[in-house]
Amino acid sequence: MNSPYISPDSHRGRSSSFLRTLSGAFLFSLGLSFAFLPGGAFAQSAPISGEKPPKLVVPGAPITYFDGDRQIDLVLALDEVAVEAPEGTDVSSLARRATSAPIERVEKLSGRGVHRVRFQQQPDRTTLEQRAAELAAGIPKAKAFAVLFDPTAHKRAPEQAKLLTNQLAVKVKPGISVEDLARAHNLRVIEKVSYSSDTYILEARRTGLFEALDAANTIHSWGVAEFATPLLRKQQQRKLVPNDPLFSRQWHLQNTGSNPGVTGLVAGNDVNVVGAWDSYLGNGINIAIVDDGLQVAHPDLAPNARTDIDIDINYGDNDPSPDIAGDDHGTACAGVAAARGNNAIGVSGSAPQAGLVGVRLISAAATDAQEAQGLTHQLTAANPADRVSIYSNSWGPADDGATLEGPGSLARAALQNGVTNGRGGLGAIYTWAGGNGGTGDNANYDGYANSRYTIAVAASGGAGEQSSYSESGSCIVINAPSNYFGGGITTVDRTGSAGYEDPPGDYTYTFGGTSSATPLAAGCIALLLQAYPSLTYRDVLDILIRSATQNSPSDTSWFTNGAGLKFSHKFGFGRINVASALATAASHTPMPLETTPLTGGETLSTPVAIPDNNATGITRTTTISGPSNFKVEYVTVDVVITHPYRGDLEMFLTSPSGANSKIATTRSDSGDNYNHWVFTSVAHWGENPNGTWSFKVADRYSGDVGSLSSWTLTIYGHLENPATVGEWMLY
């Protein structure tokens, strides 16, 4: 009688007496078979029913085994094996001598002495086993293991690796002899477990990579066991909760619903970061705190402070430490972003081991040139470890509802240069406070937050609601928790008698505003960049947009744009969610290069009057006929309007899908005219731009009249799945 399964790489004999003993004890599963796969790897094939095989995301070959009746699908990495050797063994050098196969790199896995050996090419299964045998023979006391991944583990991170051992667990059915079963598969019984009846740990006698897997699958197919499962070594993730004594008050990091010192919390309204700290702490990512100073000697900041690359632009030296009363803001911001966590003192930042670079810029009045200097400080440092990846900016023009101001020519050029040349050409990240003017102002009147090169951050409270001071705007990308009616943000304060707190202390419990939301987002982004360092700044934007949490979902400000993304002028695309961002990044397709913008609008030979105190206003339209695969990112409207009290005006931009951006709101701004002010909207992200766009201007208060002279629509984006020729993108 033949076995229903023959190993692809061997013809092991089966015990005829054993099979005769079992002849009535099992059924063949005629719909199941085992087959070679491309490259020599194997898996159990699907029943012959025309079923489509599962899509592989990880490069390699599918592997299947069973946990009871539950099928487990993994992917075998064909270009690597894991090697376990005694601690202190120079695995890298010995591996290169042990095999002639070209090795790409050797890196540490979890546990003592365990390394992954990555080859430059993917072999077939037989060759992979040969390479593993060579490594095991050439490295003293070494063992080699096949490396498996979940099919969705796109990046094959070390912590996602599963090592296939030469052992399996079997629970035999009544009347089945485990000893006979072991002999039939060239196994030995090494343990009868005490916590489950008729359950054994078996071990392969041979050293091949797949002996235990082969045996487990065959035993399962014979139906002689309740389960037959290969044993995999996998790293379980620690659930780190920092030991910082004030961490329990940091509801913005972990909102339990009952954090001390605040009221009105609803559990879960936080940035969902704690679980990510098991893997990422911001190591290797430098965050510039562009502000009024950074107290580098603060005990909770000093471990992360990059005092070797700080700068004080206001006072012309390299020490950003504040020495003027009231210069407390930057230090508190730095604590929110990257106070040293898990050091048994104070608080934790959202990126508790990121580098902090102090850029003192707003302690005194600064020029456009100085702003540009601050926004490019350490942008292209020769040593990548000294480059700034993220610039956190919790400052801007006055939030008085009457100021229309933005970066000058140099600062605008600096921002564009930063997203082009920063991070080795991937683009630096600029987080920017959306503003604290509440309903009396709008982020679109702040030219820094309104720039398409920055990530404008709004603020939300402990129940997910919009913080009362947080400005709305079509340029708001995301929001992050900050102070609200129920309490503030706990972060570092200048030590001693300086700082916010009275009586003095080294920490403050009342920090807030979009000033706090912005460095919180910066720290969250640092974790994302540590996990996925090849992300461009546009990739980061796309990931944040697609992974954000829709906080306060019943708020009427939410709408769905033409790409199916939910947007709110209060909240942007939602509250930043670190765990979700990391998961989204794992399967994120890199953004294609930005393509030539599409333009529309009109310059009117005769300005069109805007009816006074009339909600209907005037509406102008333009038709866009671009490539069918164009996907919108940012949209801008350059406006020229003559009006003696521009705060009377509100403006709307509506895309072909019907998504409506409110790009200007009424406010107490008695200034004259809009002279080529550029309003920005991110609300149309992902839409197809083709069709009719409409631009509406309405004057909502009586007594002053004006006219529209021109409006220029510019649509920035990319071509989805652009054709390629060699290295060139076809646009």
Say yes or no: 354 and 216 in one domain.
no
Judge contact between 458 and 434, C-beta under 8 A.
Answer: yes
Is 584 a member of any domain? no
Nearest to 472 by CA among 617, 666, 640, 639: 666
Task: Please tell me what DSSP assigns to residue 540.
Answer: H
**Residue 47: what pLDDT?**
30
Separation between Cα atoms, residue 286 and residue 135, nearest integer Å: 39
**Residue 152: what pLDDT?**
62
Separation between Cα atoms, residue 297 and residue 306, nearest integer Å: 11
**Residue 659: what pLDDT?**
97
Is 227 a member of any domain? yes
Handedness of CA 176, 177, 182, 188 (dihedral sign): positive
Contact partners, residue 584, CB within 8 Å, separation at least 6: 543, 546, 547
Say yes or no: 514 and 637 in one domain.
no
Residue 338: give its domain's CATH number. 3.40.50.200
Q: Is 140 exposed, middle or buried (0-12, 13-18, 19+ CB in 10 A)?
A: exposed
Return the active site residues.
Answer: 291, 329, 515
Q: Of 206, 234, 262, which marks where a domain is finished?
A: 234
Say yes or no: 665 and 529 in one domain.
no
Say yes or no: 333 and 461 in one domain.
yes
Is 425 a member of any domain? yes
Say yes or no: 31 and 157 in one domain.
yes
**Residue 398: what pLDDT?**
85
3-state class (DSSP) for residue 241: coil
Structural domain boundaries, residue 632? 598-724
**Residue 100: what pLDDT?**
87
Nearest to 597 by CA among 565, 640, 563, 636: 636
Domain count, the chain: 3
Rg (alpha carbons) of the chain, rounded to whole number: 31
Contact partners, residue 130, CB within 8 Å, separation at least 6: none
Separation between Cα atoms, residue 179 and residue 370, nearest integer Å: 80
Is 332 a member of any domain? yes
Say yes or no: 191 and 304 in one domain.
no
Residue 709: give its domain's CATH number. 2.60.120.260
Judge contact between 98 and 139, C-beta under 8 A.
Answer: yes
Q: How is residue 512 written in tokens?
A: 């807030």
**Residue 53: what pLDDT?**
37
**Residue 264: what pLDDT?**
96
Consecutive H or E run containing 367:
none
The secondary structure of 143-211 as a DSSP string is: EEEEEEE-TT-TT--GGG-EEEEEEEEEEEPTT--HHHHHHHTTEEEEEE-SSSTTEEEEEESS--TTH
**Residue 5: what pLDDT?**
24
Say yes or no: 369 and 494 in one domain.
yes
Say yes or no: 378 and 459 in one domain.
yes
pLDDT digits (tens, 9 = 90+) for 659-717: 999 999 999 998 889 989 999 999 999 999 999 999 999 999 999 999 999 999 999 99
pLDDT digits (tens, 9 = 90+) for 98-132: 998 899 899 887 666 889 899 988 778 788 889 99
**Residue 731: what pLDDT?**
30
Say yes or no: 344 and 431 in one domain.
yes
Say yes or no: 404 and 340 in one domain.
yes
Is 270 a member of any domain? no
Q: Of 535, 555, 573, which marks where a domain is finished?
A: 535
Residue 719 CB-half CA count within 13 A: 14
Separation between Cα atoms, residue 220 and residue 229, nearest integer Å: 8
Q: Which residues of 359-383 are buried (b: 16+ CB within 10 A; e: fewer)?
A: bbbbbeebeeebbbbbbbbbbbeee
Judge contact between 449 and 432, C-beta under 8 A.
Answer: yes
Judge contact between 571 and 555, C-beta under 8 A.
Answer: yes
**Residue 723: what pLDDT?**
60
Provide block-wise average pLDDT over 10 residues at a time, the chain (731 residues).
27 28 28 25 32 50 87 88 90 91 85 84 83 92 90 70 90 95 95 87 90 95 94 65 88 96 96 95 97 96 98 94 92 97 96 97 86 95 97 91 87 93 97 95 96 98 96 98 96 91 87 96 98 97 98 96 98 97 94 97 96 97 97 97 95 98 94 92 98 98 95 97 48 30
Q: Of 511, 535, 559, which marks where a domain is finished?
A: 535
Say yes or no: 167 and 20 in one domain.
yes
Is 115 a member of any domain? yes
Is 546 a member of any domain? no
Say yes or no: 289 and 228 in one domain.
no
Q: What residues pair up with 630 in beta bridges, in sequence order?
A: 719
Greatest alpha-carbon pair distance for the chain in Å reads: 105
**Residue 650: what pLDDT?**
98
**Residue 590: what pLDDT?**
95
Nearest to 338 by CA among 389, 400, 374: 389
3-state class (DSSP) for residue 581: helix
Helix 514-531 with 329-338: angle, nearest 10 deg: 40
Is 27 a member of any domain? yes
